[in-house]
Amino acid sequence: MPSPPNAMQSALLYHFCRLRLPQVLLPRQRFEEHLHRAYAHYEARRDQTASFLEALHTLDWFLASACLDGHATAWETLFSSRASRTDALLIDALRLRAARLYPRDEERQEEAVTEFWGYLLAGERQGTLPILHRYDGLRPLVPWLIRVFHNWQLSKLRKGADEMPLPEVEELPPREWSAPQSSEARWHEHFRAAARDWLDGLQDEEILLLGLRLRYRLSQREAAKVLGIHEGNVTRRMNKLSEKAHLQIEQTLVELGWTGDDLRPLIQTEMLPLLLDEPRLAADRLAALLAARGQTLPVPVASDQGYESEERP
């Protein structure tokens, strides 16, 4: 079992944080208490590949702990944190997410960002721990905050789905992709490995849907006829597959140290070729799935070159 930091390691860690963030005046006793809490999070994780101190994003964790304790300078430091290699501020990144979720509603966009800071210090229900308490220091803080903000707003949108429709992925405005150390090929390799893990978890019905839409290029109506479902269910199932892919791949890359703002451009450039090379989406495998349903190939398999899908997982 991994052991918690000893007294010397704790002292060195504290003075390192104070040296790097001198404006954040977190008392030593509170530092020790938060360190114990962070270690408890770490100890509860499975498949640990690094020691606690190696896994800990030290300054991110120190800053979040000081915010939990209500230090104004800590919040000021957090507001001015950089969200990407393009040096965008965290608060600007949140405003961009809000603009995507609430297009043409500037009042609601600003309200969402303003309320977020209070939301971090509130629990899901009265008497529960603050949301920020969930940050364990085992992942970068800023991408975690952006994801929490995004999921919180999506949850609010779903609760009010009768009042306004949820935004579609295709309607979101394009943005420049900024990946950490984007010149390194390792992120493309990590992405492909994560995407294959996602593919391995798909059921035959889901594979067949992807094959009909991406390889055979069937329309929603044609795919619905083959699958024996309502046409509207084709879009809903594709959107569900897309959401699952985004969440699973993003979670995997964040755990590996990803600090880019948005995976969508990477998914759009990498995912389709990977899908079309996937053995389970090969023509013979799809034909076998159709044969098991008493059906034949709907259309001849066309060339994959230059194809752009209407719906990208």
Three state DSSP letters for 55-121? HCCHHHHHHHHHHHCCCHHHHHHHHCCECCCCCCEHHHHHHHHHHHHCCCCHHHHHHHHHHHHHHHC
Q: What pTM did the predictor assign?
A: 0.51
CA angle 124-102-230, nearest 5°? 90
| Angle separating helix axes 7-20 and 28-44, nearest 10 degrees | 110
Q: How confident is the model at residue 52 (pLDDT cuts 50, 70, 90)?
A: confident
Residue 252 within a domain: yes
Q: Please give the Cα distance from 51 to 102 (Å, whole number).
A: 42
The residue from 79, 105, 135 where one domain ends is: 79
Mean pLDDT of the chain: 77
Q: What is the pLDDT of residue 164?
A: 41
Query: What domain count does the chain have?
Result: 3
Least-confidence region, from 40-49, 135-144, 151-160, 295-304: 295-304
Q: Which domain holds residue 133?
A: 90-162
Question: What's the average model confidence in pLDDT over 175-193?
Answer: 58
Q: What is the pLDDT of residue 227?
A: 85
Instruction: Give percent above pLDDT 90 in the chain.
Output: 10
Q: Is 78 exposed, middle or buried (0-12, 13-18, 19+ CB in 10 A)?
A: buried
Q: How confident is the model at residue 48 (pLDDT cuts 50, 70, 90)?
A: low
* pLDDT of 262 above 70: no
Question: What's the average model confidence in pLDDT over 109-115?
Answer: 89
Residue 297 within a domain: no
Q: Please give the Cα distance from 219 to 272 (Å, whole number).
A: 17
Question: What's the average model confidence in pLDDT over 228-245?
Answer: 86
* pLDDT of 306 above 50: no
Do 143 and 239 belong to one domain? Answer: no
* pLDDT of 169 above 70: no
Residue 156 within a domain: yes
Question: What's the average model confidence in pLDDT over 247-271?
Answer: 73
Q: What is the pLDDT of residue 181?
A: 42
Q: How confident is the model at residue 2 (pLDDT cuts 50, 70, 90)?
A: low
Q: What is the CA radius of gyration of the chain?
A: 23
Q: Please give the Cα distance from 297 to 291 (Å, whole number).
A: 8
Give which of 98, 88, 75 is closest to 150, Cα–Cα: 98
Sign of CA dihedral 246, 251, 253, 258: positive
Other CB atoms closer than 10 Å to residue 132's CB: what's the count?
20
* pLDDT of 65 above 90: yes
Residue 4 within a domain: no
Residue 176 within a domain: no
Do 281 and 199 belong to one domain? Answer: yes
Q: What is the pLDDT of residue 245?
A: 86
Do 69 and 98 belong to one domain? Answer: no
Instruction: Give percent above pLDDT 70 in the chain.
Output: 77
